[in-house]
């Protein structure tokens, strides 16, 4: 995983702080168009700003942070954790993204953790002290160490700066983006939302994601040659087979977040016609939960460069930067100027709160609208349209206690379905079968372990209207069988509902 080389970082700095050659530090690095690279003195100071440190499991970890001057003693500000790309560091992340300025404007705190592995700078700038770190993308031990680091860092920021634990967000680019994906699993109980630029969703994260919603924004360029959008091009840093391509990853996240509404799409955002790229934005949401849950920003022909990373720069300087990128680092592709990734991330974070993302426990006596999501003892269920039949009007989203989440209907055995039905209603499941099904004139209900002495049976159509209703007598624990006359029932799909005590079950019945 690569990040923007150091030389270009300093070019970004120059425009971001409005410095001029007369007020800057001349590095002596030649520019293709003539002259030498000049870095403003305040930028040099930001790059060389000393880091804070924290002891995590006997190891010293470092980080930088910025706290808005607008925050008063009585406020509980939000916290954004911003993870740099590989061969970079927190200070460069701060400058490249201008998250310091965003934090100042919006009255929050941003913290920039450094990766654990120290590396050599990609490009050495004479006269400026540089540091460089990596996030080991597929090293499980280091990933776990980093999660401990983030967890302790959140605790420290709460203790030292009174941040709001309901408004903790994480974002990352490239290597830092991969680490952010892993945090959705390990820090699900601490992060209200995440945003990723130029990284891919790990398959193991999807397989074990905890039972709560995780709002996610994914920004990625289709022209990114460092982390391929389609996950086809070989990458020497990670095993492609362990990751989803961007589109498939979004499908997984919409499922995790129980999205039922079609995406709201904004296409071909192209306010800057000189950057060689444009933007498509997809918003996925669930009406049961107010904020947008999944957002994808596809940067058409965009490269491995933070969108809008120098959008405040003078035009002449911006043109020089693009010239340098094209001449010396063509494999990094275009930098999109239609959007600011920093602005998009903060706007996505802002409405989300951690407690909004807890999936409520199922209440058998409550009426739920279509789209409602509930947690029934680890079974995540969604109130569905009748066309998405599973049992009753509920659809299994995932079993949080299982290795395989979001089991498909075809993967559910009769025993598994009965187990889910029992869990949903707090009772034991009766072995309930209907045959023949599809049926013509008659069908038979058979219950192998009748519970109680009386059961209410009702046949409902696809709109939930009652077609037939009666009571079925039986002996507790015994087998009961009854023939149903369907000659007066129109052809179609129905639901046969059986209720006895706190046991409530539904079977699908097709009348020919």
Measure the CA–CA gap between 211 and 314, rounded to whole angstroms. 47
Q: Of 425, 451, 466, which residue constitutes the final position of a domain? A: 425
For strands 109-113 and 79-83, give the pairing: parallel
Q: Which residues of 452-484 are buried (b: 16+ CB within 10 A; e: fewer)?
A: eeebebebbeeeeeebeeeebebeeeeebeeeb
pLDDT digits 0-9 by tens, 196-253 = 999 999 998 887 765 677 899 999 999 999 999 999 988 888 889 999 999 999 988 8
Domain termination site, one of 301, 329, 357: 357
- Domain count along the chain: 3
For 155-169, 210-224, 384-398, 495-509, which range has the lowest pLDDT when averaged over its residues?
384-398
pLDDT for 3: 46
Could you tell me what percent of the chain has a pLDDT over 70?
Answer: 70
Inside any domain, residue 1: no
Could you tell me if 417 and 294 lie in one domain? no
What is the pLDDT averaged over residues 390-410?
Answer: 47
pLDDT for position 218: 98
Query: Which secondary-structure segment (H or E) carries 45?
Result: helix 41-47
CA dihedral of 308, 314, 316, 318, whole degrees rounded to 10: -20
Find the domain containing 493 and state its range.
430-512
Q: Determine which helix (DSSP H) or strand (DSSP E) holds 473, and give its type and residue range.
A: strand 466-473
Mean pLDDT of the chain: 79
* pLDDT surpassing 80 at residue 44: no
Contact yes or no for 18/4 (Cβ under 8 A): no
As given in the structure block, the two tokens for residue 381 are: 């269920």
Q: Is 221 in the same domain as 283?
A: yes
Residues 349, 402: one domain? no
Q: Measured between alpha carbons, how far is 216 from 248 in angstroms, rounded to an integer?
A: 14
For 311-362, write each residue's pLDDT tens digit: 544 455 556 656 666 767 778 889 999 999 999 999 999 988 887 777 777 7
* Collapsed DSSP state (helix, strand, coil) of residue 155: helix
Same domain, 244 and 377: no
247-291 pLDDT per residue, tens: 999 988 887 776 766 678 899 899 999 889 999 999 887 655 556
What does pTM read for this prediction? 0.73
């Amino acid at each position: 995983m690569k990040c923007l080389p150091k030389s270009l970082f300093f070019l970004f700095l120059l425009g971001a702080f409005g410095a001029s050659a007369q007020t800057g530090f001349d590095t002596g690095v030649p520019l293709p168009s003539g002259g030498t690279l000049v870095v403003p003195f305040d930028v040099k100071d930001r790059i060389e700003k000393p880091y804070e440190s924290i002891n995590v499991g006997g190891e010293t970890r470092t980080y930088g942070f910025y706290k808005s001057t607008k925050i008063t003693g009585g406020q509980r500000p939000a916290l954004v954790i911003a993870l740099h790309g590989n061969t970079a560091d927190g200070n460069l992340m701060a400058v490249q993204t201008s998250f310091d300025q965003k934090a100042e404007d919006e009255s929050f705190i941003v913290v920039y953790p450094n990766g654990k592995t120290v590396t050599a700078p990609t490009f050495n700038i004479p006269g400026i002290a540089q540091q460089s770190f990596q996030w080991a993308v597929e090293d499980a031990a280091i990933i776990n160490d980093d999660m401990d680091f983030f967890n302790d860092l959140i605790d420290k920021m709460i203790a030292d700066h009174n941040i709001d634990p309901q408004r903790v967000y994480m974002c990352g680019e490239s290597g830092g983006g991969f680490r952010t994906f892993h945090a959705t699993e390990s820090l699900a109980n601490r992060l209200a939302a995440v945003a990723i630029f130029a990284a891919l969703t790990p398959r193991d994260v999807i397989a074990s994601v905890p039972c709560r919603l995780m709002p996610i924004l994914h920004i990625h360029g289709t022209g990114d040659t460092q982390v391929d959008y389609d996950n086809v091009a070989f990458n020497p840093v990670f095993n492609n087979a362990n990751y989803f391509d961007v589109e498939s990853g979004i499908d997984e996240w919409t499922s995790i977040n129980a999205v039922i509404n079609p995406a709201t799409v904004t296409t071909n955002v192209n306010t800057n016609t000189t950057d060689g790229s444009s933007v498509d934005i997809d918003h996925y949401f669930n009406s049961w939960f107010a904020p947008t849950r999944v957002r994808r920003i596809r940067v058409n022909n965009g490269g491995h460069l933070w969108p809008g990373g120098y959008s405040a720069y003078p035009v002449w300087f911006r043109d020089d930067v693009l010239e340098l990128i094209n001449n010396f680092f063509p494999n990094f592709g275009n930098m999109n100027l239609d959007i600011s990734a920093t602005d998009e991330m903060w706007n996505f974070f802002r409405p989300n709160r951690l407690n909004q993302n807890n999936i409520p426990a199922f209440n058998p006596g409550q009426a739920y609208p279509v789209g409602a999501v509930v947690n029934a003892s680890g079974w995540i269920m969604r109130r569905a349209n009748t066309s998405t039949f599973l049992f009753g009007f509920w659809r299994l989203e995932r079993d949080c206690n299982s290795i395989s989440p979001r089991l498909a209907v075809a993967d559910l055995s009769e025993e598994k379905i009965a187990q889910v039905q029992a869990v949903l209603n707090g009772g034991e499941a009766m072995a309930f079968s209907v045959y023949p099904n599809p049926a013509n004139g008659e069908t038979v209900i058979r219950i192998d372990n009748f519970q109680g002495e009386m059961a209410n049976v009702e046949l409902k159509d696809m709109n939930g209207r009652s077609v037939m209703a009666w009571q079925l007598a039986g002996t507790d624990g015994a087998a009961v069988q009854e023939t149903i006359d369907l000659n007066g029932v129109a052809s179609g799909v129905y639901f046969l509902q059986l209720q006895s005590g706190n046991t409530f079950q539904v079977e699908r019945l097709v009348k020919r």
